[in-house]
Amino acid sequence: MTQKNRLIGGQIDRNATLNFTFDGKNYTGHPGDTLASALLANNVRLMGRSFKYHRPRGPLTAGSEEPNAIVELRSGARQEPNTRATTAELFDGLSAKSQNRWPSLAFDAMAVNDRFSNFLTAGFYYKTFMWPAAFWEKIYEPIIRKAAGLGSLSMQTDPDEYDKGFRHCDLLIIGAGPAGLNAALIAGRSGAEVILADEDFRMGGRLNAETFSVAELEGADWAAQTAAELSAMPNVRLMPRTTVIGAFDHGIYGAVERITDHLAASPTGKPRQILWRIYAKQAVLCAGATERPIAFENNDRPGIMLSASMRAYANRWATTPAQRVAIFTNNDDGHRTAQDLHAKGVKIAAVIDTRPDAPSSMDYEVLQGAQVADTKGRLGLTFVEVVRADGTNRTIECGALGVSGGWNPNVQLTCHQRGRPIWKEGLAAFVPGGTLPSGMSVAGAAVGTFTTHGALKSGADAVRKALGLKGRAPAVPEAEDAPVNQTPFWYVTGCSRAWLDQQNDVTVKDVKLSHQEGFRSVEHLKRYTTLGMATDQGKTSNMGGLAIMAELAGKSIPEVGTTIFRPPYTPTAIGTLAGRMRGKEFHPTRLTPSHFWAKERGAVFVEVGNWLRAQWFPLPGETHWRQSVDREVLATRSSVGVCDCTTLGKIDVQGTDAAIFLNKVYCNGFAKLAVGKTRYGLMLREDGIALDDGTAARLAEDQFVVTTTTANAARVYQHMEFVRQCLMPQADVQLISTTEAWAQYAVAGPNSRKLLQKIVDAEFDISNEGFPFMACANITVCGGLRARLFRISFSGELAFEIAVPSRYGDALMRKLMAEGEEFDVTPYGTEALGVMRIEKGHAAGNELNGTTTALNLGMGRMVSKAKDSIGSKLAERPGLNEPDALMQIGLRPVNRDDKVTAGGHLMNALGPVDAAHAQAYVTSAAFSPTLGCMIGLGFLKDGGNRNGEKLRLVSPVTDLTVEVEVVSAHFVDPEGERVRA
């Protein structure tokens, strides 16, 4: 029998044995165990070290409020730091390591801090380590950081998968103790859609930890029976292993369901955890209560734990931290622990009760009006020093001490929308108060109803109220209803190294110092001492700190106030909150209609927003991207090239007022655009800054096709909806995006018409006369496929854009390549596209950067004065029209071999080089194969009048300074003859 401290009974499956290791040592446990219960059964009390002083620690609790017994669970990429041994379900092959210790848990060199604790008081670091300044990063901080932190990450990619989902219900019940189970029963029978969530893997809450009976059954059996009945109801969904982490606005709850954490490995395709967003019309919080400790000297030794947790270990997990235990209590609940452990054959050394009138017992000694003054035992409790009512001392030998200071309702979720709990004098505890999250009510111990009967009843009442159930209330199952007498007793007088926050090592002494130094508000106390900031979120520590601060300030606890509880209720894995949105699936990917063809061609792709676009098409033998891009440019300018420009936004604008509408959103005129014609348009934001540019093609009197830049497609569409619905509600205009409906290709170059004539059906005349520059039409291609043709050019060459339904895009591209062979047709990518637009001086994203006006872009005259359009008025502000306003210009290096860099700043040929003397900056740059040198576009103060001037382009961050000349932005075909050819 290796499990030395295993008791009789309990809700574990003794028929199966599970092997596991802790710090490399082998142990056994049973299904139903947690890591902590199994270790205790194996007589292991020491499970961790504290954060600051590295004090030896064992479990304080048996639940998710645990501050001490936190370990690194699993190993390799699945290593999970700071995992509570008290909630980690045992599985066969589980391996765990203790953390924040070196070299070993039993001997931790850093424990020396404990010796120097007098120097390491609250906030000491704010008062030193200041000289010399440079030493902070070099010396002090590295030492502090080395000591910082608890567990460690594996630094490997988390191999597990996570899901996120949505569930809707009429009623969400949080917590499946007596209140929650009875509530669910009544709600379920009413036919409502119910979700019952509990963080534990076994429904029942405290019923599993107590020996009470409910309706003549063992509490645990009643819980199991009720859970079974609920699971048979189609309208009730039981969610065990599910922690509701947050209550968000309007009845939206975040809940984390642990799917495979209790398994050795996840089945493929199955998530480790799921984040559920639960949409609940009503919610009943039955989260129970947390027992609170009493502060006394050295109250943090392994073996000292909360009394009700000790009871839970005995009753539910059939284990005890030691064979000889004592209890320190200020209320009757501590006596229950003594009774239950005694009944299971554990020797009760004594019950130390602060109350002079404490009940006595036949089975063990009760020390009335006594207090624990101190404790002994380096790695685990051996003795407690007791001061009796008459002031005499007594040493009691025991391996464990159960401490019971009363209970605090678990009000956390009621505070998530900044509701403030209120103080209930009778209970000496905070209960839910203020404005609760909409639709939330609270029942059971969470609202301060601590008896089993009371919990069952208040659960029932809350549900009937929430669902508006009429008729006679069903009978409440028979259960104990002993009166609760909870009197405040926070700490033993005169103690100083008495722990309040066991993980962060905040003692009574620290709170007193904080008060002495003027950090007296709860927020200051918390921040100065780090009280309640540990992984247990202050569940067992906040109240003690508050109580002491209140006493020092001579105020009542509610006057001192409570810190706000924030989500999550328990710490939540980041992976769970991210779900599937990681790696390549972080954002959806948009593929162009020619993608699969381009892939065959060996294209190199680039991310453009969510789009993947062909960047260039390397040919065999081309070793550098520039070779491919230069070839694509020259081939297009000399014969014909094809580029997939489907990604440009396309918005179908229809209605009898479509032209009036576009006249409002574009700063230039559109009212008189003829059917069959396309026009370049510039859109301004209302603040007068350029929003986007593109073309609008008038396919019919009442129909336009508007194109936007790839980057701004969604924003422009939204902007047009705002104008339509909010500014022009009486205009007859309808909008819809058709971006992905059409595969649209630019066919550019002197031979583009010849190529298209082989594709476009004969009845359509696309000669220069029949289809001049800026013409547009609905046509058919390849023997009757409907298509759209636009004669527009981004490259500056004779060019067309042709569009067919997307499903035919792949075929059309292949057709263009085949028919184009005689012209050596060349597919080109976004790089060549970019080079050609710079050569032509077209503004793009780098120029439309959200701070430039039509004037800056050299389109000042485009802004029509004859009409009102969005942005035209605020564009007239003086600051946007100064005499030396920035103007778009072209740049070329004076020395043809020099580099031109986008992002470089422009300085006068002479004079200082600094921000104050900058003449503006370079927006775009590229090597122009056409001109045989690098060229750039940029903005320049008074740029309109500085043609031919020599400037210095400086880019210190890329270590570049070159002499450049200001030239026209239109490097190629400035007169625009080619596009009209």
Partner 1 sequence: MIINHPLLGPRDSAEFVYLGTSNLMDRPDPETATPEDWHDYAYLRDNPAGPHRELWFHEGGDRSILIVTRDTTTHEISSVELARNPGAQV
Partner 2 sequence: MRYSGFKVIKEALTGHKGWLPAWRDPEPKAHYDIVIIGGGGHGLATAHYLASVYGQHRVAVVEKGWIGGGNVGRNTTIIRSNYLLDGNEPFYEFSLKLWEGLEQDLNYNAMVSQRGIMNLIHSDAQRDAFVRRGNAMILNGADAELLSEAQIRQEYPFLNFDDARFPIKGGLAQRRGGTVRHDAVAWGYARAADRRGVDIIQNCEVTGFRVENGKCLGVETSRGFIGAGRVGCAVAGNSSRLMEKAGMRLPIESHVLQAFVTEGLKPVLPGVITFGAGHFYVSQSDKGGLVFGGDIDGYNSYAQRGNLPVVEDVCEGGMAIMPMIGRARLLRMWGGIMDMSMDGSPIIDRTHVDGLYFNGGWCYGGFKATPASGYAFAHLLARDEPHETATAYRFDRFRTGHMIDEKGMGNQPNLH
Partner 3 sequence: MHDLTAITALGGIAPQVDTVGEVTLSEVPDVALASVAARLRKESTCAAQLKALLGGPPPQAGRAKLGEPYAAVWLGPDQWMLSARFETHQDIAAQVKTKLGDTASVTEQTDAWCCFDLTGPNVRAVLELLCNIDLLRFETGHATRTSIHHLGCLVVCLDKGQSVRILGPRASAGSLHHAITTAMASAL
**Of 102, 135, 166, 722, the one binding partner 3 by CB under 8 A:** 166
92 binds partner 3 (CB under 8 A): no
Binding partner selected for residue 125 from partner 3, partner 1, partner 2, none, CB under the kind-specific 5 to 8 Å limit: partner 2
CA dihedral 666→667→672→674, nearest 10 degrees, is -50
Tokens (6 digits) for 174: 């949080």
Q: Is the dihedral of CA 436, 441, 445, 450 positive or negative?
A: positive
**Of 97, 595, 679, 719, the one binding partner 3 by CB under 8 A:** 595
* Residue 207 DSSP code: G
CA 296/CA 315 separation, integer angstroms: 27
Antiparallel, parallel or unpaired: β 742-748 and 506-507: unpaired
Binding mask 368-407 for partner 1 (x = CB under 8 A): ----------------------------------------
Binding partner selected for residue 17 from partner 2, partner 3, partner 1, none, CB under the kind-specific 5 to 8 Å limit: none
Q: How far is the CB of 584 from partner 2 (least distance, A)?
A: 5
* Residue 619 DSSP code: P
Binding partner selected for residue 78 from partner 1, partner 2, partner 3, none, CB under the kind-specific 5 to 8 Å limit: partner 2
Binding partner selected for residue 438 from partner 2, partner 3, partner 1, none, CB under the kind-specific 5 to 8 Å limit: partner 1
Tokens (6 digits) for 237: 């969904």
Binding partner selected for residue 251 from partner 3, partner 2, partner 1, none, CB under the kind-specific 5 to 8 Å limit: partner 1
CA 802/CA 471 separation, integer angstroms: 72
- From the list 40, 6, 4, 33, the residue with the least C-alpha distance to 18 is 33
Binding mask 719-748 for partner 3 (x = CB under 8 A): -----------xxxxx-xxxxxxxx-----
Q: Which helix (H) or strand (E) holds 967?
A: strand 960-967
Closest CB to partner 3 among 221 and 702? 702
Q: How far is the CB of 712 from partner 2 (least distance, A)?
A: 12
783 binds partner 3 (CB under 8 A): yes
**Of 589, 725, 881, 895, the one binding partner 1 by CB under 8 A:** 725
Closest CB to partner 2 among 337 and 503? 503
Closest CB to partner 1 among 185 and 689? 689
CA atoms lying within 13 Å on the CB side of residue 327 = 32
Binding mask 402-431 for partner 1 (x = CB under 8 A): ---------------x--------------
Binding partner selected for residue 812 from partner 3, partner 2, partner 1, none, CB under the kind-specific 5 to 8 Å limit: partner 3
* E strand map for 585-624: 590-591, 604-608, 611-616
Per-residue burial over 86-97, b = 16 or more CB atoms within 10 Å of its CB, e = otherwise: bbbbbbeebbbb
From 78-86, 289-297, 306-314, 639-647, span contacting partner 2 (CB under 8 A): 78-86
981 binds partner 3 (CB under 8 A): no
CA 963/CA 913 separation, integer angstroms: 13
949 binds partner 2 (CB under 8 A): no
The single-letter code of the amino acid at 222 is W
Do the Cβ atoms of 650 and 739 come closer than 8 Å? yes
Number of C-beta neighbours around residue 261 at 10 A: 21
CA 792/CA 804 separation, integer angstroms: 16
Do the Cβ atoms of 68 and 50 come closer than 8 Å? yes
Closest CB to partner 3 among 139 and 736? 736
Residues 607-636 that bind partner 2 (CB under 8 A): 607-608
Residues 863-892 that bind partner 1 (CB under 8 A): 868, 873-874, 876-877
**# chain residues binding partner 1, by CB under 8 A:** 24
Do the Cβ atoms of 252 and 168 come closer than 8 Å? no
616: which strand partners? 604
Binding mask 895-924 for partner 1 (x = CB under 8 A): ------------------------------
252 binds partner 1 (CB under 8 A): yes
905 binds partner 2 (CB under 8 A): yes
Do the Cβ atoms of 399 and 304 come closer than 8 Å? no
Do the Cβ atoms of 304 and 381 come closer than 8 Å? yes
* Residue 47 DSSP code: -
**Of 132, 269, 468, 878, the one binding partner 3 by CB under 8 A:** 269
Binding mask 391-420 for partner 2 (x = CB under 8 A): -------------------------xxx--
774: left (phi over 0), alpha (psi -120 to 50) or beta: left
Q: How far is the CB of 912 from partner 2 (least distance, A)?
A: 10
* E strand map for 655-700: 678-684, 690-700
Number of C-beta neighbours around residue 313 at 10 A: 31
Residues 82-101 that bind partner 2 (CB under 8 A): 82
**Of 336, 590, 664, 905, the one binding partner 3 by CB under 8 A:** 590
Residues 270-299 that bind partner 2 (CB under 8 A): 275, 277
535 binds partner 2 (CB under 8 A): yes
505 binds partner 2 (CB under 8 A): no
Closest CB to partner 3 among 579 and 669? 579
From 140-148, 167-175, 302-310, 824-832, span contacting partner 3 (CB under 8 A): 167-175
Collect all residues with Cβ–Cβ distance below 8 Å to 683 and sequence separation of at least 6.
665, 666, 667, 690, 691, 692, 693, 694, 716, 719, 870, 871
Residues 704-733 that bind partner 2 (CB under 8 A): none
Q: Residue 44: what are its φ and ψ, rounded to 5°? A: -105, 115
From 15-23, 166-174, 200-208, 848-856, span contacting partner 3 (CB under 8 A): 166-174
Do the Cβ atoms of 324 and 377 come closer than 8 Å? no
Do the Cβ atoms of 902 and 924 come closer than 8 Å? yes
Closest CB to partner 3 among 139 and 581? 581
From 3-11, 104-112, 244-252, 391-399, span contacting partner 1 (CB under 8 A): 244-252
170 binds partner 1 (CB under 8 A): no
Closest CB to partner 1 among 188 and 251? 251
Residues 607-626 that bind partner 3 (CB under 8 A): 610-611
Per-residue burial over 160-198, b = 16 or more CB atoms within 10 Å of its CB, e = otherwise: bbbbbeebebbbbbbbbbbbbbbbbbbbbbbebbbbbbb
Residues 253-312 that bind partner 1 (CB under 8 A): 279
* E strand map for 861-949: 886-893, 905-908, 918-928, 933-941
CA 841/CA 892 separation, integer angstroms: 13
From 40-48, 132-140, 212-220, 457-465, span contacting partner 2 (CB under 8 A): 132-140
Collect all residues with Cβ–Cβ distance below 8 Å to 327 and sequence separation of at least 6.
307, 334, 335, 337, 338, 348, 350, 351, 352, 401, 402, 403, 404
Binding mask 69-88 for partner 1 (x = CB under 8 A): --------------------
564 binds partner 3 (CB under 8 A): no
Binding partner selected for residue 783 from partner 1, partner 2, partner 3, none, CB under the kind-specific 5 to 8 Å limit: partner 3
CA 348/CA 323 separation, integer angstroms: 8
Binding site for partner 1 (CB under 8 A): 248-252, 279, 417, 435, 438, 686-687, 714, 718, 721-722, 725-727, 729, 868, 873-874, 876-877
Binding site for partner 3 (CB under 8 A): 161, 163-169, 193, 268-271, 274, 277, 279, 580-581, 585, 587-592, 595-596, 610-611, 646, 652, 654-657, 702-703, 730-734, 736-743, 780-786, 804-808, 810-812, 815
